[in-house]
């Protein structure tokens, strides 16, 4: 969330250009049964979201439905999912609403719609792969979607959950100045564009030690380089829900939470607060050399192996004795 660290500097622009209305991604026009096609996830309201899949050879031992982070899209899992496929795990990932090459890029949907897409994609994956355990994995923003969904009225029917550097930097953990600036920016000038490049002049946020990967993202036209103020406000709403979720959980599927000690995007106090609230309901893996983009860091292959080892251990535990 480097944008939050620069929004105070942009506040004067909000006042000068006030009066714009917040814009949200429109819902689809139809109601239908959601479904997974080869390259498309069709939502319950009729939107077609690009779908990527990395298939294990033969019958997969497990399925992962993977949700990407803010500004990113489904291709975020290309490298990790190839490693998971070699271990017998098939991965399905779609461009969430407002991201990648799906409809309305740059516009925020809302947490409710994103959680409904998670539920429907998991349900559709279970139908496509009957008898194969389905897990949900969320990176950063995707982790916030999953964690908040677990505490909602329709938790995803999964065999387990993997939270990778989940976005849980809620308002309660932010300095007052950030909260005030974000509120006025989102309500006075929701279309204010926050740029990663501009942010680098104020504060340097290193999301990964994998420089080659970061350079590739900089060249990728589908990776969003700019974010609207109202989209950032929506993200913080989602992080609020995710941060509060552990206190609302009853029964949960097995949870694996993976975090890097060098994460400069999500403050450690927020992550540690969620870990403490989850308690024994979560297995926690900490990586001394891990940054925010754990799965794609230089240490990524070891992190990815830990993840598949955990998934396959859960699968083995489900087998009749």
Size (the chain), residues: 321
88-130 residue pLDDT tens? 999 999 999 999 999 999 999 999 999 999 999 999 999 999 9
Which pLDDT band holds residue 19 (cuts at 50, 70, 90)?
A: very low
186-204 residue pLDDT tens? 777 766 766 655 333 345 7
Return the pLDDT at 222: 97
Residue 161's SS3 state is: strand
pTM for the whole structure = 0.89
Q: What is the mean pLDDT of the chain?
A: 88
CATH number of the domain that 163 lies in? 3.40.50.1820
Q: What tokens appear for 147 in the block?
A: 């964690």
Which are the contacts of 277, defined by CB distance < 8 A and separation ≥ 6?
A: 246, 247
Which are the contacts of 88, defined by CB distance < 8 A and separation ≥ 6?
A: 56, 57, 60, 61, 62, 312
161-184 residue pLDDT tens? 999 999 999 999 888 888 777 877
Q: How many domains does the chain have?
A: 1
What is the Cα–Cα distance from 173 to 272, expressed in whole angstroms? 11
Return the pLDDT at 24: 63
Domain that holds residue 117: 2-318
CA angle 26, 31, 32 (to 5 degrees): 130
Quick check: 256 pLDDT over 50?
A: yes
What is the Cα–Cα distance from 96 to 142, expressed in whole angstroms? 9
Which pLDDT band holds residue 17 (cuts at 50, 70, 90)?
A: very low
Q: Residues of the chain with pLDDT > 70: what percent?
A: 87
CA atoms within 13 A on the CB side of 19: 2
Q: What tokens appear for 226 in the block?
A: 């700019």
Among 13, 260, 308, smallest CA distance to 160 is for: 308
Among 100, 106, 64, smallest CA distance to 220 is for: 100
């Amino acid at each position: 969330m480097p944008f939050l660290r620069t929004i105070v500097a942009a506040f004067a622009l909000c006042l000068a250009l006030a009066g714009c209305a917040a814009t949200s991604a429109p819902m689809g026009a139809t109601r239908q049964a959601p479904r997974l096609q080869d390259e498309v996830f069709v939502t319950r309201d009729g939107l077609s979201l690009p779908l990527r899949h990395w298939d294990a050879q033969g019958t997969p031992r497990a399925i992962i439905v993977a949700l990407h982070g803010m500004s990113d899209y489904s291709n975020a899992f290309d490298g990790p999912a190839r490693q998971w496929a070699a271990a017998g795990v098939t991965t399905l990932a779609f461009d969430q609403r407002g991201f990648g090459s799906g409809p309305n890029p740059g516009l925020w949907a809302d947490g409710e719609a994103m959680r409904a897409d998670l539920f429907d994609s998991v349900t559709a994956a279970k139908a496509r792969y009957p008898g194969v355990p389905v897990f949900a994995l969320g990176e950063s923003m995707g982790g916030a979607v999953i964690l908040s969904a677990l505490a909602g009225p329709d938790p995803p029917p999964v065999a387990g959950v993997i939270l990778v550097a989940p976005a849980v930097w809620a308002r309660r953990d932010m300095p007052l100045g950030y909260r005030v600036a974000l509120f006025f920016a989102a309500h006075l000038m929701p279309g204010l564009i926050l740029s990663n490049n501009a942010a680098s002049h104020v504060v340097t946020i290193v999301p990964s030690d994998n420089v080659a990967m970061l350079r590739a993202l900089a060249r990728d036209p589908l990776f969003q380089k700019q974010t609207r103020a109202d989209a950032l406000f929506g993200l913080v709403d989602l992080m609020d829900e995710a941060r509060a979720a552990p206190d609302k959980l009853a029964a949960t599927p097995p949870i694996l939470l993976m975090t890097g000690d060098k994460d400069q995007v999500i403050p450690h106090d927020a992550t540690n607060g969620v870990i403490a609230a989850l308690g024994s309901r979560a297995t926690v893996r900490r990586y001394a050399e891990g940054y925010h983009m754990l799965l794609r860091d230089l240490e990524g292959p070891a992190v990815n192996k830990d993840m598949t080892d955990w998934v396959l251990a859960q699968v083995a535990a489900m087998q009749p004795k």
